[in-house]
Structure 1
Amino acid sequence: MTKFPHGWLRASGRRSARMIIGTAIAALTLGAMAAPASAAGPTISTVAAGYAHTCVIRTDGALLCSGSNDSGQLGDGTNGASAGKTSPVRVGTATTWAGIDAGTNYNCAIRTDATLWCWGKNFRGQLGDGTTTNRNVPTQVGTATNWASVSAGDSHTCATRTDGTLWCWGFNRLGQLGTDPSSVYYATTPLQVGTATTWAGVTTGYAHTCATRTNGSLWCWGDSSAGQLGTGSLSYSTTPAQVGTATTWSTVAAGYAFTCATRTDGTLWCWGENGYGQLGSNTTYQTAPLQVGTNTTWSSVSAGFNTACATRTNATLWCWGNNMAGQIGDGTTTNRNAPTQVGTATTWTSNVAVTYHTCGLRTGGSLWCWGNNLSGQLGDGTTTNRSTPAQTTI
């Protein structure tokens, strides 16, 4: 569940979220040169949020995770109900991590050598290692060394390669892998989606997938029971279906049963389920893109479990939708059906990950988290929920 910009090759997370290898490598290099805003040592270059865990990549290329660890999603070699961590723990000793996305109970990440690694829950083959065995340490997906971006959903994963091809694996009950579920109910290794070589980025929701192509067009497939494919239909699609005719899509993020996206003109659009106001408007579910307000300065968007967040060109951060755990960050637990500004800071970057908790990076590489913290996913050493951003030092 991530967000991605058109022309990556990104997507998200579920963050986005969420991975252009060249960009990630540049972030590691530039980050190492920049002086941290608030503390000595490495700052953060990337953040990803799962259902109840968080992972970050530091500017020195190290990977750390905190929160729930029931399926081994922290990647530290342990797993179980009592194996969670309220402070970040190091994932191995590698310092070559370039990008990461978090699924509900698992993660997938790319290294600077363009290899792909996944770990955590694997009940439907979402780790792509040819098995359905959970993994508590990163496990390589095949032998390819040309992965460009990855997006982890609930129980399916999709990723692009540098040759413009798109691959998906995991659960396929509603066609979210881009192929007929009657022939492939789930896949434990990557399956290519069609034959196109113009995919630019991909984002996975609970049971649907959306991706952009290099011409700025947007395509979605899988579950559309709430209209989350944006094609005007409530029926699922087993192959990519184009969303309208626009060729100006910029960043796209698939949430639980909804999707939000920005266009190159700075407008913001959402569609799908709207029970919590996650479409940014007071309306029913939508089967086609609905513009959120009239603002034309939106720069990126992230989507999670019925909550969305977006940044504007002035580096402000806005969130809306489900706020049961304070994940909107406005100091309340009141659901919002319109974008609500998170504090007054004007230093937010586009790297924001949202589920039932939210984490975002500010310029200088500082990490701020808020929302649900029952499993220690905010990484602050406690299990106390927060309804406003608090800085996490890693």
Structure 2
Amino acid sequence: MRHRIGTALAALAMVALTAAPAAADAPYPAGVSADDLRAAGVSEGVVAAGGAHSCTVTSLGDVYCWGDDSSGQLGDGTSTHAGGQAVFAFRTAVQVDAGRAHTCAVGADGNAYCWGDDSAGQLGTGTAGDRDEPAEVTGLDGHLIVQVATGARHTCAVDDEGAAWCWGDGSAAPVRVTGIAGPIVDIAAGGNTTCAATAGGAAYCWSSGEAPARIAEARRARQVAVAGKRACFLDTDGRASCGGARLDTGGAELDRISAAGDRVCGVDREGRASCWTTDGERSGVDGRMRDLDVGADRACGVGVEGYVSCWGADGVPVRVGGLPRPPGAATGVQVRALDGGLRISWHPPADLGSGPFEFFWAATADYASGCVLTVATASGCEVLGLRNGRTYDVAVVVRTRDGLTISDYVTAAPSEVAPEPSGSAYPSAPPRELQPGEGGGLPVTGLSPVALLSIGTMLLGGGLVALLVKKP
């Protein structure tokens, strides 16, 4: 019952995103939008386990939910669900969290949406009554929301300035939380307790009607979780503790944690998942995970292959049926400089997920220049009409009917090999598909400031930067 929007681009917290090209103005191929790219770039907060229901966000930003729907918490507007199959609830989201009997999501538009149980005002819609379809949280106009966290009867959110807002437990409208020094980079809710970590590494916890109290032992916190009445923290070195006791990770550095009730689970930096009980007993989870969340009686995770699974105390994951699965990413991306252009090559993914292939899109980081190839075995193209000497960061997007993935970025600059014709500008030319064997060049590692700027705009809509500082 916690979640955060995660990304490795911590440097973006220091970058003025308003200087970046407007992502919405880019010439996207048919079937791709700026919202799709934001959703595909998020790796955390894409699965949620609540009281008796669970949800996930696909690589296209679609929210699917399954399990109990007694209060409308699945969000599809109906009350009949055969066989526990996942149902579509919302589009387009970048994060979802599940409470005891309600669900909330952060839309790609920066607004918060909730549905399900509203017995204590936890939906924040301004009107009383349960809802079986998503409704926008009111009272947050002018604030871009980057994270939501749901408890039993309340909900909290963090905006792009690092301020926390909470509603529920009798308050139907969001109220700004005061008494926390510094911008918040992570927030978690469980039961009637909420905890938050700040950019300075401090952690605070509070309950309904109480002021936030700083947790003395948490001095380098970057993530928080709530296990029953215990507060759990993950520090910048990947070490986690709950109630003041260190979790035995076997020497592994954790990348993220989640907790609920008497259980804590974490994923290390190699994708290995483990869970611990309140008495310190540790168990492993089969398969590598890129995100997980702990609910009242189970945990759910998204594997590196894109499958969503849930497991109970036995730690044996069971796949959730009826969910679309994204394609694998293009790998081995290489770029070679041309006169006024770049030659881009890659290895097509062996796993295309659950949907038929649609196209590759090799594009510059601002998505203003690129090439689209509709053959699943295509491995390269040339993008021309670029400026010699300018640095470009390039990635390859794989689009199928059911998903979208973005490769790692590589950097290169077109180089002039012959004088430009007198009086000519940099000529525009169409991209050229490479023939087999033409290949690319050597990959260039690292991201330029242009790429960081553009990726931030792509993922977070030009303003959602507060949470980026929590990664080491």
Instruction: Go from structure 1 to structure 2 and tell me whether the alpha carbon gap of 1:255 and 1:84 turns closer, same or farther (over 3 Å shift).
Output: farther
The Cα offsets for residues 154-210 of structure 1, whole Å up to 9 and x where unpaired, read as 001111111221111111xxxxxxxxxxxxxx2001001117562222111101110
The 1:257/1:321 distance shift into structure 2, 3 A limit, reads: same
Matched, 1:264 2:262: no
1:60 deviates by: 1.5
Task: Answer yes or no: is the 8 Å Cα contact 2:36–2:61 preserved in 1.
Answer: no
Which of 170, 194, 198 is residue 168 of structure 2 equivalent to? 170
Asked if the contact 1:320–1:340 (Cα under 8 Å) also holds between the matched residues in 2, the reply is yes
Distance 1:29 1:87, change over 3 A: same
TM-score by length of 1: 0.68
Q: Which amino acid counterpart does residue 300 of structure 2 have in structure 1? A: C
Q: Deviations over 1:294-324 (max 9, x none)?
A: 73512211111222111122221111228xx
Question: Match of 2:187?
Answer: 202
Residue type at the aligned position of 1:199: I
Correspondences of 1:1-394 after superposition (within 5 Å)? 1-4=1-4, 28-30=39-41, 46-79=46-79, 86-91=84-89, 94=91, 96-142=92-138, 144=141, 146-171=144-169, 186-194=170-178, 198-222=183-207, 238-244=210-216, 246-271=218-243, 289-293=244-248, 295=251, 297-321=253-277, 337-343=280-286, 345=287, 347-371=288-312, 388-393=316-321, 394=323
Superposition deviation, residue 68 in structure 1 = 0.6
Query: Are 2:144 and 2:159, in contact at CA under 8 Å, matched by a contact in 1?
Result: yes
- CA 1:4–1:112 in structure 2 vs 1: closer, same or farther (change >3 Å)? closer
**Larger Rg, first or second structure (1 or 2):** 2
| One-letter amino acid matched to 1:256 | G
Give the Cα–Cα distance (whole angstroms) in 1 for the partners of residues 171 and 230 of structure 2. Answer: 24
User: Which letter maps to 1:243?
Assistant: I
> What's the offset of the Cα at 1:390?
2.2
Cα pair distance change 1:292/1:29, threshold 3 Å: closer
1:249–1:264: 8 Å Cα contact kept in structure 2?
Answer: yes
User: Across the two proteins, how many residue pairs are aligned to each other?
Assistant: 294
Gaps of 5+ in 2: 10-22, 24-34, 324-472
The answer as to whether partners of 2:4 and 2:45 remain within 8 angstroms in 1 is no
Deviations 1:45-70 (A, max 9, x none): 81111111111111112111111110
1:342 deviation in Å? 1.5
* Cα deviations by residue, 1:260-287 (Å, 9 ceiling, x for unpaired): 221112211001xxxxxxxxxxxxxxxx
- CA drift at 1:257: 2.2
| CA offset digits 1:17-39 (Å, max 9, x no partner) | xxxxx9x97563358xxxxxxxx
In structure 2, the residue corresponding to 1:28 is in which secondary structure?
helix
Q: Retained in 2: the 8 A contact 1:69–1:84? A: no
User: Contact conserved, 2:254 with 2:267, CA < 8 A, in 1?
Assistant: yes
CA distance in 1, matches of 2:68, 2:119: 17
List runs of 5+ in structure 1 lacking aligned partners.
10-21, 32-42, 172-185, 224-236, 272-288, 323-335, 373-385
Aligned-residue sequence identity (percent) comes to: 28
8 Å Cα contact 1:106-1:121 kept in structure 2 = yes
Per the alignment, do residues 98 and 370 of structure 1 end up closer, same or farther by CA in structure 2, a change over 3 Å counting?
Answer: same
In the alignment, is the contact (CA less than 8 A) between 1:66 and 1:85 conserved in 2?
A: no
What is residue 12 of structure 1 aligned with on the other side?
none
Q: CA RMSD in A?
A: 3.0
Structure 1 pair 207–84 and aligned structure 2 pair: CA distance change class (3 A): farther
Partner SS, residue 99 of structure 1: strand
Deviation at 1:216, TM superposition (A): 1.2
1:91-126 C-alpha deviation (Å, 9 max, x unpaired): 25x3x1111100000001011010110000000000
The separation in 2 between residues aligned to 1:200 and 1:8, in whole angstroms, is: 13
Tell me the CA shift for residue 150 of structure 1. Answer: 0.5
More helix by share: 2
1:123 counterpart letter in structure 2: S
Distance 2:204 2:6 in 1: 12
Q: What's the counterpart of residue 437 of structure 2?
A: none
Higher alpha-carbon deviation: 155-164 or 259-268: 259-268
Task: Tell me which amino acid in the other structure corresponds to 2:39.
Answer: L
Give 1:132's aligned amino acid.
Answer: A
* Cα distance in 1, alignment partners of residues 156 and 258 from structure 2: 17
Return the TM-score normalized by structure 2.
Answer: 0.57
Change (3 A) 1:368 1:7: closer
Are residues 318 and 2 of structure 1, via their aligned partners in 2, closer, same or farther at CA, if it must alter by over 3 Å?
Answer: same
